[in-house]
Amino acid sequence: MRTAVVTAALLLVSGCGATVAHETSKPDPVTVTNCGRQVTFDRIPSKVVTNDTGITELMFALGLKDRMAGYVVDGNNTVDLQTSPWKADFDSTPKLAEKISKEVVQGAGADLVFAGWNYGFSESTGFTPDAVNQLGIGTYQLTEACRNGNGKQRGIMPALDALYTDLRNLGKIFRVEAKAEELIKGYQQQIENAGKLMAGRPRPKVFLYDSGQDQPFTSGRNAAPQDVIAKAGGDNVFGDLDDSWTTVNWETVVQRDPDVVLIVDYADGKANTPAQKQAFLEGFAPLANSPAIRNKRFFALPYAALVESPRNPASIEAFARYLASA
């Protein structure tokens, strides 16, 4: 049994750091379906502002660094930048701010903002797609975070489908369809190969622990961890929740009796490191009898590996290898 948190440096993603030759621009406008709405682009965006690590890495994976005005990443996401397969692209692209705002995107001269609900877009800050559009700036929303019509719940399709949808949409918008399909084909093969590692073995129950001590923040079936866990050979204990990232209660975690805890590696303001999060869980009396705690089965992945991003396939492989090693 593993007795310590393992943090995987996900450096297995194909296409990392590459810049591809852009396909010939088409004179006609391009229309894509984004979060249930038809969005038309009259020209290829050339000053894109992205918010969050995974979203930025989608642009880098497609070779679109030169189409960016810059990115916005929270200061807590230093682990993401250190472990990114596109670290060189991050280093050579302007970091505009740690919090996105109208002033930031206007100051960058943005012609497109690529963000998502709770990945930059928020009613509480007034930074919404409609508000950005009123500035004369286009928007594209991360599909993982699309609202599904039930209050503020998010998620309209399985997480990997959301990843492939965004890659194909961005491929059309930026006229790099061939690169998008190349990436998708490679990811699908990598995931298929990873699935063989746990074939025929019992599927462990996995609790995704993001943060929170009074109440845990975790993943329902519409966020990336659902597919990361499932394709690696496990079952998300909160896979029945029709939401993406969401808060639950500890009583339910205890009842669902997880075999493994998958920890999100990023600073959350209290217990910053995976080791600190593990120590909290090991010292949390109601969980003391769960198999995950008794057997010290903890695994950590960077935040950007567990939100929709081109790191998802490598994170599936890394987690599958951990599960198969026990």
CATH of the domain at 132: 3.40.50.1980
Helices (H), the chain: 53-61, 78-83, 87-91, 102-107, 129-133, 159-173, 177-195, 224-232, 250-256, 274-282, 291-294, 303-306, 312-325
- Which tens digit of pLDDT belongs to each residue from 1-21? 333 444 444 444 444 445 554
Query: Strand, coil or helix: what is 260?
Result: strand
Per-residue pLDDT at 111 = 97
Domain identity same for 62 and 211: no
Per-residue pLDDT at 268 = 58
Radius of gyration of the chain (CA): 19
Structure tokens at 132: 């950005």
Domain identity same for 72 and 173: yes
For residue 263, with 0-12 CB atoms within 10 Å meaning exposed, 13-18 middle and 19 or more buried, which class applies? buried
Structure tokens at 215: 């109440």
Beta bridge partners of residue 260, listed in sequence order: 206
- Which tens digit of pLDDT belongs to each residue from 263-292? 999 865 555 789 999 999 999 999 999 999
Q: How far is CA 294 from the centre of its chain?
A: 30
Regarding predicted confidence, which is higher, 76 or 194? Answer: 194
The total number of structural domains in the chain stands at 2
Tokens 């963000």 found at = 115
Q: Is residue 23 part of a domain?
A: no
Helices (H), 35-156: 53-61, 78-83, 87-91, 102-107, 129-133
- Which tens digit of pLDDT belongs to each residue from 189-239? 999 999 999 999 999 999 999 999 999 999 999 999 999 999 999 999 999
Structure tokens at 204: 């462990």
Last residue of a domain, one of 155, 190, 225: 190
Q: Is residue 300 part of a domain?
A: yes
Domain identity same for 91 and 184: yes
What phi and psi, each to the nearest 5 degrees, are found at residue 215? -140, 135
- Which tens digit of pLDDT belongs to each residue from 117-167? 988 999 999 999 999 999 999 999 999 999 988 888 888 999 999 999 999
Which domain range does residue 241 map to?
202-325
Q: How far is CA 15 from the centre of its chain?
A: 17
Q: Is residue 2 part of a domain?
A: no
In angstroms, the first-to-last Cα distance of the chain is 6
> Average pLDDT of the chain?
91
